[in-house]
A and B are shown apart, each in its own frame.
Chain A
Amino acid sequence: MNPVWIILFAPLCAAAVITLLTRKSQTFSALISCAAILTGFVITMQLFLQKGEWVSPAPLQWLVVGDLVKIEFGATIDRLSILMLLVVTGVGSAIHIYSLGYMKGDPGFSRFFACLSLFTFSMLGIVLSNNFIQIFIFWELVGVSSYLLIGFWFEKHSAAEAGKKAFLTNRIGDFGMMLGVLLLWTNTGTFSFAELPAKIAAIPAGTLSVIGVLIFCGAVGKSAQFPLHVWLPDAMEGPTPVSALIHAATMVAAGVYMLCRVSFVILPSETALTLIAWIGGITALMAATIAIAQNDIKRILAYSTLSQLGYMVMAVGLAGITPAMFHLTTHAFFKALLFLGAGSVIHAMHHEQDIWKMGGLWKKTPITFITFLIGTLALAGVYPLSGFYSKDQILLLALEHNKVLFAMGAFTAFLTAYYMGRECFVVFFGKPRDNHAYDHAHESPLVMTLPLVFLAVLSIAGGWGEYVPNFLTGGEELEAHHEAWKGFALLLVPAAGFLLSAKIYLKANPSDAPVKAALGRAWTWVENKYYFDELYAWIIKYVQGTIATLCELFDRWVLQKFGIGGLAGTTSVAGKTLRLLQTGNIQSYAFMFGLGVTVIIYYVVVK
């Protein structure tokens, strides 16, 4: 059996075994789940080190109807999927191990690991898919497993609501994607990634643009791009390891990965590319502005994720598949690190998430502090950390193709450094604002700090030598390198951001007041996330609600009245028949049976 199947199915088996057998034993459940993903990681490493001709296993014929429809279940092994497998299993393993400490003592411990394994399976499925229907299948499975994980603490109203919101918002994106896939299929007659590229040229340009945009809809949902970004910040209701897994390394990255995987559909269409680039740019900037006014340690990171995903999508829109995947990889490292670090802080503060109740924590939680700082610097794109290399590639790409997008991207980079500086300074520096919580704060156990250190190393070194892009392109020379000075000149941007935030927040008792005063009305807007939630709630309540009520009223007052009205004369007969029914006398039922049958026979035979 091809080892790839083990990578894919080990987590599914783990989820099944935990659910059916070991639910009662927390230790076993956790071990099985961790073992499954670590096995996947080891096998992926092996594949990675093979460096050469990888063999994709023979696909199964999953759904066949004559010659018309053939849907395979296969696995694609190439540089793109191996890179993504490494990210998912590598970062995933760290998160699994971290969860051993973070989730300790939770009554749903086993359930948590079962869901985690189910999620890993779905995500690996997206990575390995070799056709559109298969990727859609795992796409949906990721949706449902994230629903289970986000709503893990289902007795909390907000968590149950957030899980539902994530699933439904994703569904709206999937609606477009499904139509795109169908349209693509009618024009080419195949779903297969291997066969499609040769057939794309035959599609009329207009149709191809529509297909590209529709398929992009799927990525808009999953990668939480504007205007479907609203689910991601709410999804922070899930346990923190979940946030790290699905909002950093995997689920949200799936949208970008999918775009890279099917780039052959998108790249030929100028219209689709332009739209994608702009959506990415808008998301990056919009989310960064919202992040400056949030108070929840995880929500700031959530908006930062949105913003970074915007970069990746923008890169895809600028036809930069390699930079997009590069940033996806480094982002997975440092964003997982930041989320896990935030989790460690939350753990230390006994489930306090408001940054204004923290402060001065660097003495209490030194490892968390240092690793968090590394993550912050990597995210801001400081030399020589990983984020510097990947973000630069995207910004320079924008500089080359579209100056407006470049300006938006650069300003976003400034904001990134600013809001991350704010978070760091408020959480770790200054005076403790909640003395009781501060006194009880403690560094997390080794099982949690070790993954932090592992990810911190990757966050530092992940970009060195531009190894990732070189691996993706198979060692071929990248297109004409930009002058290095441009990259270093861009370092001024995060530096300015950090300086500004230090000036405002690096003091004993920092507050938002000066910024509030300077921004005026704008602060209210960003603090309230531009009122998107309110707008959507209004649409759902008044537009959808009104239509639904009209349908119901029509059903009740028109159709039912009309239908029954036509049969009104029978009502009295009905009454009498019903009285017969209620005799409870078996003979009368038998009589009715006989009568019915006789009537039919009479009707047919004698007539």
Chain B
Amino acid sequence: MENLLTIAILLPLASAFLAFLLPAKKPGAIRALALFATGVSLLLTLYIFSQFDRQNAGYQFVKSIEWLPSFGIHLKFGVDGISMVLLLLVGIVSFCGALVSHEIHDREKEYYILFLALTSGISGTFCAMDMFFFYFFYELAVIPMYLLIGMYGSLPAGKHGRTKEYATMKLTLYLTAGAVLALVGLLTMYYAGGRTFDMVQLRENLRGSGLNQKWVFAALLFGFGFLASLFPFHTWSPIGYAAAPTAASMMHAGVLKKLGTYGIIRLALPLLPEGARQWVDLLAILACFNILYAGLAALTQKDWKFVIGYSSVSHMGYIMLGIATLNVVGVTGAVLLMFAHGVMAALTFSLIGFFYHQTHNRNVPDLSGLARKIPFIGVCMVMAVMASSGLPGFANFASEVMVFIGAWSQGSTLFRIATICAVWGIVVTATYLLWAVRTSFFGPFDEKWNMLNDATTLKQKFPYALLLVVLLVVGFWPRTLIDIIKPSVAKQVLSQTVEPKTAMVETR
């Protein structure tokens, strides 16, 4: 079992190396390899998920390899409920991403190598139990993303006269700045915690170490906040997605962005509980800005990818708000929302990619009545949009409700107001998304889109159907995931954060 986890994480990376050896003239073989690697990874992940002990809140399937013992570095993988759910997310999104990558016809070899490295990088980060490797995989994920956007992206000209190079550069600068800030925080903890990178050990060592948690927490919060597009560090995000190729937007909005919030949940909250309490009020305020400010900015966007880009910034606000509650309901809701939003964002971007590949135009007002010509994509898009606006039956609803309940029960006036903002945010979300769908998919059909082809074969439909089914299954029965997230949130994240008395009630 332990080895299976390691294989699931590293198989895409190994395949990337293997792809190096394959001739670039045989893109079919490389594509097959990528599909195989992500597919097998997904199957292994599903198997691990089925074997996961739901009663056990700790790390499972732990595999540790000594790396540099003198510095306290181990290659150590393991999953608790939080990582398990997110690993599943990576498996699903990367497989679907590989499936829809057939639109790439240029430099396929490099494309798939980067894509596979990216996949391993993200899974590795989610499962690393060692802070060094956490950071290592984090960087392993960010660099290929940079190249994927820079080499394969496209940004319609005229959008404020900006190019994809601008977008790529901006994204990279922001993410690097965030990474450096986070690294400062991590290294401070490393030195204060007795020079170990082991997260479990470090948590023990840091307790009562006298470290001034306030500023270390700030470094981690804002460092990871850059990646999670926390207001006001979010501006790289919409334009970055807009410029990225389909699969890269899926991976980025779907999973890479979640690394930011994951970092906060995995490292900042449990290791620095004192610091957390000092910053959550500010975090809640910023989360509201994310939700409402980005939502309102989305209202004015015309490009589908910008609409969804701002929408994704807005949704990250709910996750931040969930984290800021520091209670089991809110944080569990935040983790579930990371999963739900990841699948939903991947679905939306893949659908946009589907028609953009044919229309070469994703300006909402230019499109009209597409549903007649591409009904399957239209139906999926309506469902994706409904999921995104928090419709019950989709996973997003259950998680958003948990965030609301968590934030409301936090009790302070600030959080009450934040909850009101968050609930209002759903109205705003529905406004711009329904506008976009209504304008481009409904209304009279425009003959100029007569050349569009719908997804007709099972093979074409599969990635979209898979993502939808996942959203529906978790939406209908959220306990599929909640039951494994909740114990880990209570034990791994919050057991020192919440007041002992409430902790007892909540973790029972």
Task: Name A's B-contacting residues (CB within 8 A).
Answer: 61-69, 133, 136-138, 140-141, 144, 148, 151, 154-157, 160-161, 163-164, 167-168, 171-172, 175, 178-179, 182-183, 185-186, 544-545, 547-549, 551-552, 555-556, 559-560, 563-564, 567, 570-571, 574, 577-578, 581-582, 584, 586, 589-590, 592-593, 596-597, 600, 603-605, 607
Closest 10 A-B residue pairs measured CB to CB? A160-B442, A137-B392, A548-B299, A154-B442, A574-B169, A552-B300, A548-B296, A551-B296, A182-B408, A551-B297
Q: Please, which residues of chain B bring their CB within 8 A of the CB of A607?
A: 187
Q: Please, which residues of chain A bring their CB within 8 A of the CB of B404?
A: 178, 182
CB distance from A593 to the nearest CB of B (A): 6
**B476-499 at interface with A (beta carbon < 8 Å):** 477-479, 482-483, 486, 490
**B374-397 at interface with A (beta carbon < 8 Å):** 382, 386, 390-393, 397
Across the interface, do B139 and A68 meet the contact criterion of CB distance under 8 Å?
A: no
Q: Please, which residues of chain A bring their CB within 8 A of the CB of B44?
A: none
Q: Is B194 an interface residue (CB 8 A)?
A: no
CA–CA, A64 and B481, complex, Å: 11
Q: Please, which residues of chain A bring their CB within 8 A of the CB of B207?
A: none
Across the interface, do A605 and B71 meet the contact criterion of CB distance under 8 Å?
A: yes
**B100-143 at interface with A (beta carbon < 8 Å):** 107, 109-110, 113-114, 117, 132, 135-136, 139-140, 143
CB distance from A539 to the nearest CB of B (A): 13
Q: Is B158 an interface residue (CB 8 A)?
A: no
Across the interface, do B109 and A563 meet the contact criterion of CB distance under 8 Å?
A: no
Q: Please, which residues of chain B bring their CB within 8 A of the CB of A600?
A: 135-136, 139
Task: Given contacts A168-B434, A560-B235, list 19 more A-B pairs with CB under 8 A.
Answer: A63-B479, A66-B507, A67-B505, A67-B506, A69-B405, A154-B443, A157-B443, A179-B419, A555-B297, A559-B232, A559-B235, A563-B174, A563-B233, A570-B173, A574-B165, A578-B168, A590-B20, A592-B143, A593-B117
Which single member of B420, B430, B443 contacts A160 (CB below 8 Å)?
A: B443
CA–CA, A161 and B443, complex, Å: 9
Across the interface, do B430 and A171 meet the contact criterion of CB distance under 8 Å?
A: yes
CB distance from A530 to the nearest CB of B (A): 24
User: Given known contacts A63-B479, A563-B174, A578-B150, is B434 in contact with A164 (CB within 8 Å)?
Assistant: yes
Which single member of A144, A154, A555, A570 contacts B386 (CB below 8 Å)?
A: A144
Q: Please, which residues of chain B bring their CB within 8 A of the CB of A559?
A: 232, 235
Task: Name B's A-contacting residues (CB within 8 A).
Answer: 20, 68, 71, 107, 109-110, 113-114, 117, 132, 135-136, 139-140, 143, 147, 150-151, 160, 165, 168-170, 173-174, 177, 183, 187, 232-233, 235-236, 293-294, 296-297, 299-301, 328-329, 332, 369, 371-372, 382, 386, 390-393, 397-398, 401-402, 404-405, 408-409, 411, 419-420, 423-424, 426-427, 430-431, 434-435, 438, 441-445, 477-479, 482-483, 486, 490, 505-508
CA–CA, A552 and B424, complex, Å: 19
CA–CA, A151 and B233, complex, Å: 39
CA–CA, A160 and B329, complex, Å: 38
User: Given known contacts A578-B168, A600-B139, is B393 in contact with A141 (CB within 8 Å)?
Assistant: yes
Across the interface, do B482 and A64 meet the contact criterion of CB distance under 8 Å?
A: yes
Across the interface, do B435 and A144 meet the contact criterion of CB distance under 8 Å?
A: no
CA–CA, A160 and B442, complex, Å: 6
Q: Please, which residues of chain B bring their CB within 8 A of the CB of A66?
A: 328, 486, 490, 505-508
Q: Please, which residues of chain B bring their CB within 8 A of the CB of A549?
A: 300
Output the nearest chain B residue to A178 by Cβ-Cβ distance: B423
Q: Please, which residues of chain B bring their CB within 8 A of the CB of A154?
A: 371, 441-443
Across the interface, do A547 and B427 meet the contact criterion of CB distance under 8 Å?
A: no
Across the interface, do B478 and A62 meet the contact criterion of CB distance under 8 Å?
A: yes
Across the interface, do A547 and B235 meet the contact criterion of CB distance under 8 Å?
A: no
Q: Please, which residues of chain B bring their CB within 8 A of the CB of A61?
A: 479
CA–CA, A549 and B71, complex, Å: 52
Which single member of B140, B296, B424 contacts A175 (CB below 8 Å)?
A: B424
Across the interface, do A157 and B444 meet the contact criterion of CB distance under 8 Å?
A: yes
CA–CA, A548 and B314, complex, Å: 13
Name 29 interchain pairs, CB-CB below 8 A, sorted by A: A62-B479, A63-B482, A65-B329, A66-B508, A133-B401, A137-B397, A141-B393, A154-B443, A155-B442, A155-B443, A157-B444, A160-B443, A163-B438, A175-B424, A178-B404, A544-B296, A548-B296, A548-B297, A556-B160, A559-B235, A560-B235, A563-B232, A581-B151, A586-B110, A590-B20, A600-B135, A600-B139, A604-B187, A605-B71
Across the interface, do B420 and A179 meet the contact criterion of CB distance under 8 Å?
A: yes
Count, A-B residue pairs, CB within 8 A: 190
Across the interface, do B372 and A65 meet the contact criterion of CB distance under 8 Å?
A: no
Across the interface, do A68 and B151 meet the contact criterion of CB distance under 8 Å?
A: no
Across the interface, do A182 and B299 meet the contact criterion of CB distance under 8 Å?
A: no
Interface of B: prevailing SS: helix
Across the interface, do B478 and A168 meet the contact criterion of CB distance under 8 Å?
A: no
Interface centre among A160, A161, A559, A586 (most CB of B within 10 A): A160
Interface centre among B372, B426, B430, B507 (most CB of A within 10 A): B430
CA–CA, A156 and B372, complex, Å: 12
User: Given known contacts A136-B392, A586-B110, A597-B139, is B68 in contact with A68 (CB within 8 Å)?
Assistant: no
CA–CA, A548 and B20, complex, Å: 48
Which single member of A133, A545, A547, A582 contacts B151 (CB below 8 Å)?
A: A582
CB distance from A230 to the nearest CB of B (A): 15
Interface centre among A69, A552, A563 (most CB of B within 10 A): A69
CA–CA, A329 and B391, complex, Å: 29
Q: Please, which residues of chain A bring their CB within 8 A of the CB of B117?
A: 593
Q: Please, which residues of chain B bring their CB within 8 A of the CB of A137?
A: 392-393, 397
CB distance from B14 to the nearest CB of A (A): 15
Interface centre among A140, A157, A551 (most CB of B within 10 A): A551
Across the interface, do A175 and B507 meet the contact criterion of CB distance under 8 Å?
A: no
Q: Please, which residues of chain B bring their CB within 8 A of the CB of A186?
A: 408-409, 411
CB distance from B487 to the nearest CB of A (A): 9
Across the interface, do B442 and A151 meet the contact criterion of CB distance under 8 Å?
A: yes
Across the interface, do A67 and B508 meet the contact criterion of CB distance under 8 Å?
A: yes
CA–CA, A63 and B398, complex, Å: 8
Which single member of B147, B442, B443 contacts A581 (CB below 8 Å)?
A: B147
CB distance from B277 to the nearest CB of A (A): 20
Interface centre among A67, A548, A570 (most CB of B within 10 A): A548
Across the interface, do A544 and B299 meet the contact criterion of CB distance under 8 Å?
A: yes
Q: Please, which residues of chain B bring their CB within 8 A of the CB of A136?
A: 392
Across the interface, do A586 and B132 meet the contact criterion of CB distance under 8 Å?
A: no
Q: Please, which residues of chain B bring their CB within 8 A of the CB of A160?
A: 438, 442-443
CB distance from B469 to the nearest CB of A (A): 11
Q: Please, which residues of chain A bring their CB within 8 A of the CB of B110?
A: 584, 586, 589
Across the interface, do B332 and A65 meet the contact criterion of CB distance under 8 Å?
A: yes
Across the interface, do A141 and B391 meet the contact criterion of CB distance under 8 Å?
A: yes
CB distance from B48 to the nearest CB of A (A): 24
Output the nearest chain A residue to B132 by Cβ-Cβ distance: A604
Across the interface, do A593 and B143 meet the contact criterion of CB distance under 8 Å?
A: yes
Q: Please, which residues of chain A bring their CB within 8 A of the CB of B139?
A: 596-597, 600
Output the nearest chain B residue to A600 by Cβ-Cβ distance: B139
Across the interface, do A65 and B328 meet the contact criterion of CB distance under 8 Å?
A: yes
Across the interface, do B402 and A69 meet the contact criterion of CB distance under 8 Å?
A: yes
Q: Please, which residues of chain A bring their CB within 8 A of the CB of B438?
A: 151, 160-161, 163-164
Across the interface, do A171 and B444 meet the contact criterion of CB distance under 8 Å?
A: no
CA–CA, A144 and B386, complex, Å: 8
CA–CA, A160 and B437, complex, Å: 10
CB distance from B96 to the nearest CB of A (A): 20
CA–CA, A593 and B299, complex, Å: 39
Across the interface, do A182 and B391 meet the contact criterion of CB distance under 8 Å?
A: no
CA–CA, A593 and B116, complex, Å: 14
Q: Please, which residues of chain B bring their CB within 8 A of the CB of A63?
A: 398, 401-402, 478-479, 482
Interface centre among A163, A182, A570, A596 (most CB of B within 10 A): A182
User: Given known contacts A144-B386, A160-B438, is B409 in contact with A547 (CB within 8 Å)?
Assistant: no
Which single member of A65, A167, A551 contacts B293 (CB below 8 Å)?
A: A551
CA–CA, A596 and B371, complex, Å: 46
Q: Please, which residues of chain A bring their CB within 8 A of the CB of B391?
A: 140-141, 144
Output the nearest chain B residue to A141 by Cβ-Cβ distance: B392
CB distance from A194 to the nearest CB of B (A): 20
CA–CA, A172 and B430, complex, Å: 10
